[in-house]
Chains A and B, each alone.
Chain A
Amino acid sequence: MLYIENVSKQFDNGFTALERITLKIEPGEIVTLVGTSGCGKSTLLRIVAGLEFPSLGGVLIDNELITAPHPKVGLVFQEPRLMPWLTVQENIEFGLHNLPLPERRRRSEAVLAKVHLTPFAHALPRQLSGGMAQRVAIARSLVTQPDILLLDEPFGALDAFTRARLQDHLLEIWGYDRPTLLLVTHDVEEALVLSDRIIMLHPNPGRIFKVLRVDLPRPRQRSSVQFQELKEQLLLGLDLAGAAPALVKR
């Protein structure tokens, strides 16, 4: 259980990025954060990940207050952030430093197969396309078997095709272990395809503006009437939050 309790964040320069964010997320739930650029989405993820500390409030994971990165929480950054000197497989094993080598190999090979990158196990990051690199980054998080996986615009830099494919991948992977997913996206359809709940934030200071439940069964048909209705609702909500221009792309 992930519990974000009354979190506010004021940076050293006095800027308030987040104000009184409270959010309860059940194990296995998929929750998406949407909102304009600068409304504090990344900051919230970084706080949950233990890279940044709230000025007020706190984050509880299984009733334990987060003060440093938690072993059961994985974070996929907006960019792949692979170590350029390690091969794909070594990058995936980066977080497994406490395991014996055979166990590391076994796990990384299993995950490589899940993200369909086995033929590239020994390639270097510079030899990968953007989408492949992002899959490696996701694999690097998955291999540590997190209970909670945080994803910051994981597919933001990718074309629509690759993006749709990776969304399917993500759901497929989620199907194996059912980790809690908390992700940030700028893409309305992506939010609707993936999430159980969509949290709309508004900026200055970043606050929860509205919450939208998505109760459609998976896999979801983007062309279905219910899907389109929810999309309308979401766009309307974002419009009210003053975010529409940035989000209405398609």
Chain B
Amino acid sequence: MGFYTRSSDLAPSSEPQNGRSPAKATHSRQQATWGAGARTGAKGLSRHRWLRSRYQGWVLPIGLLIAWELLSRLGVFPPNLLPAPSTVTATIWGLAASGELVRHIGITLFRVVLGFGVGTLAATVFGALTGYSPVAHRYLDPLLQALRNIPSLAWVPLFILWLGIFETSKVALIAVGVFFPVYLNLMSGIQNVDRKLVEVGKIYRLSQIQLIYRVFFPATLPAYIVGLRNGLSLGWMFVVAAELMGASQGLGFLLIDGQTTGRPAIILASLLLFALLGKLTDSLLAALGKRLLRWQDTYISA
């Protein structure tokens, strides 16, 4: 890398730069060449890195799957306890063909999305309040911190009593799980906004509202997105709990179903689908975050 930067420094007028840090190479460069050179350089680089990181992520899972399949076929794993990946795939395929799969995935997704939405909304309101206003913080935060220390699953009996065993109690449980990580990240994000940037806002006489959306909001966004991702992963955790405690549909129901009917392939299929859906939804949030936070100057800023 040092080699590349050096060569481009020596010949500032020569073609696109290969250096890894466009900003670093800029100092010694002509202003006119900077824009074009740095931009194409960065694009080519990130594409290359993107491809490579994709491959690297897949190596281990695919290797394990192949090993698992082989060992199953050789009879090392008893099929009534650990069926082969091909059997699991066939099970998923069967569920999909009968239309059941869409129904189970649909209802589980519905619960997660709704619970996540409700939890996030509440957390955003409370987090914004306690983060921004010291008075609200003194009144609300101790109570919320105390509630946080109740293991979320301990709410289950109460929710069932209050809200019945149907959707409402499930969504409520998921919302409680989502609430705390979002709340904590948002609150501390707001509290940690750089006072120096807030002063800049004051110098330019921003109103309270303008200050919030022009300084506090963008400055808090990174922490908020971390909170959302943590919240979402807890949402997936709690949907399983909610569906285990009594449901006739959903991926969590499939787990119980597989257990009671002695079909491990169903259980594994359900686990696999949880993994896929969890990863997928998290990737969506991550991609959104990356788009919104392109300005960040971080170690891994692609």
Instruction: Report how many residues on chain A are interfacial, defined by Cβ distance under 8 Å.
Output: 26
Complex: A129 Cα to B31 Cα, angstroms: 13
Q: Is B297 an interface residue (CB 8 A)?
A: yes
Report B-chain residues with C-beta under 8 Å of the C-beta of A144: 204
Q: Is the CB of B196 within 8 A of A79?
A: yes
Q: Is B205 an interface residue (CB 8 A)?
A: yes
Q: Is the CB of A83 within 8 A of B23?
A: no
Which size class do B's interface residues fall under?
A: 20 to 34
Report A-chain residues with C-beta under 8 Å of the C-beta of B146: none
Q: Is the CB of B200 within 8 A of A83?
A: yes
For the A-B complex, the count of residue pairs with Cβ-Cβ distances under 8 Å equals 64
Report A-chain residues with C-beta under 8 Å of the C-beta of B210: 97
Contact of B218 among A49, A81, A85 (CB under 8 A): A85
The proximity string for B residues 218-257 relative to A, scoring 1 for CB distances below 8 Å and 0 otherwise, is 1101000000000000000000000000000000000000
Query: With contacts A127-B26, A128-B23 known, is A83 near B203, CB below 8 A?
Result: no
Contact of A97 among B22, B35, B199, B204 (CB under 8 A): B204
- Distance of A20 from chain B, by nearest CB (Å): 26
Complex: A71 Cα to B203 Cα, angstroms: 8
Interface majority SS (helix, strand, loop, mixed), chain A: loop
Nearest to A117 among chain B residues (CB) is B31
- Distance of B172 from chain A, by nearest CB (Å): 36
Report A-chain residues with C-beta under 8 Å of the C-beta of B38: 127
Report B-chain residues with C-beta under 8 Å of the C-beta of A69: 202-205
The proximity string for B residues 16-45 relative to A, scoring 1 for CB distances below 8 Å and 0 otherwise, is 000000110011000110110010000000
Q: Is B53 an interface residue (CB 8 A)?
A: no
Report B-chain residues with C-beta under 8 Å of the C-beta of A71: 205
Q: Is the CB of A51 within 8 A of B203?
A: yes
Q: Is A124 an interface residue (CB 8 A)?
A: yes
**Top 6 closest A-B pairs, CB basis?**
A126-B297, A95-B204, A85-B295, A119-B31, A127-B23, A85-B218
Question: Could you pull out 16 A-B pairs where Cβ atoms are within 8 angstroms?
Answer: A68-B205, A69-B204, A71-B205, A74-B203, A81-B196, A81-B197, A81-B199, A83-B197, A83-B200, A84-B297, A94-B204, A97-B206, A119-B34, A125-B295, A127-B26, A144-B204
